[in-house]
Structure 1
Amino acid sequence: MKKVTLLILLALSLFNTNKTQAQDGAAIATAAGALLAIGAGVAAVEQMKERAELTATEWVLTHNPELNNFSLKTLDFNGKKLKDISATSVITFKIQEFTPSDKPELNGRKQILLGFTSYGWINEYGIDFDKVQWFLIDSSEWLKMMTSYVHVASGEDNENFIKEELKEGKIVNKGIKKKGKTTIPFYQLSGDMYVVTDYSPEMKFIYNERSLGIFLKETKNLVQIGRGSIIEIHDFFFEE
């Protein structure tokens, strides 16, 4: 929400400046209109977030009936403007199980639900969730995915070494960093260079500068997960 707060402060500043310098109704109307537009944008994002959470919950209940007690929260809608969400390639949800009680703690198994969007998933009629492809993954599958990604991004062949560094460190722009030191550096590529590995029957992983590209074989879409989202997911699984 920092961007929204900044925009509100900017609009208020514009309002006060114009009031001091001109005191005309047009300037005041402009500032007020900007605030109304910001408020409408925030409301639209919150409505989309709620709809996405509802659809994700319905998907989990349909495809994973063994999950009886769980929390589901969006990971990457927070703080985004409407135009950013419309261009989103992956929406992610944090899922964690718990034991029912009065004021229960989230202390059970963690999973991430990835929703890969395709062109036109947001249009003038709202969200079309038929254009979203869902994957539910746990910490072991995430570690396997990141091991494959680090291998293709760095050329490091020792999978056990990669896994240990992933568990204890973080994935940053230049590689895996642990205790302030880069232990597995990534290739330095230009923006139009790609390194590809065939991960599974559903996906190929593509390393490009500063992003994880995932090619979905069924839809033939290439989507990207930004480094910030990778770090958030990794911390959710492995941060104490």
Structure 2
Amino acid sequence: MIEISHLVKRHRARTVVDDVSFTARPGRVTGFLGPNGAGKSSTLRILLGLDRATSGTALVDGVPYRSLDRPLWTVGAMLDGPGANPGRTARSHLTWVAQSNAIPRRRVDEVLDLVGLRDAARTRIGRFSLGMGQRLGIAAALLGDPEVLVLDEPTNGLDPEGIRWIRLFLRTLADEGRTVLVSSHLMAEMEKTADDVVIIAGGRVVAAGSAAEVRGEHDSVEEAFFALTDERHGRPAGGSEGIAP
């Protein structure tokens, strides 16, 4: 389980994450949605120990990420694409990542199969399409067979086939009982995948709950978002009140 509680992050005079609280539960895909610059990536970087919060907590199974001994066994993450050296092959990149957390080498071929990259295992990453790169990033996240997955904008720049593949794959992971947290600015697409939805705008949570609860009387989550926010300023319409997390 992922628990974000009263998280605040300030950069000098600017508050980029403002009292954010939500929970992502096992067996469910939680969509963390909002426009670019809303505070999604900052929240995930704090969750994954890449940045420090000004205040508040971000926990995985009740503990901070930084306290995990071999984090890839507990949390698999993809931020900013695959994050791989373009001169390496897919297999060599995954082997290096596996060695960093004492993951058996046999797991490399297992995850290449899972994401459909077995035939590209010896291909240099610089020759990968964007979709193949996203699959490689997911493969790296799965190396430790973790119960928690955190993916930042995994559908960015993908064609319809790639988006559909990721949608179905995330559903499979959640159905296995894993906690799946996915950030995106593509609300219409994530509504097809997510069980639960957290919407953030201007660094603040403006809606949280099941997809149906967040949608409410609107035709879509996207319409609910625009009803709750002032698009020009990226802040909750009429103040900070939305649907309570």
Q: Do they fold alike, i.e. is TM over 0.5?
A: no
TM-score by length of 2: 0.27
The structure where helix makes up a greater share of residues is 1
Higher relative contact order, chain-length normalized (CA < 8 Å, sep 6+): 2
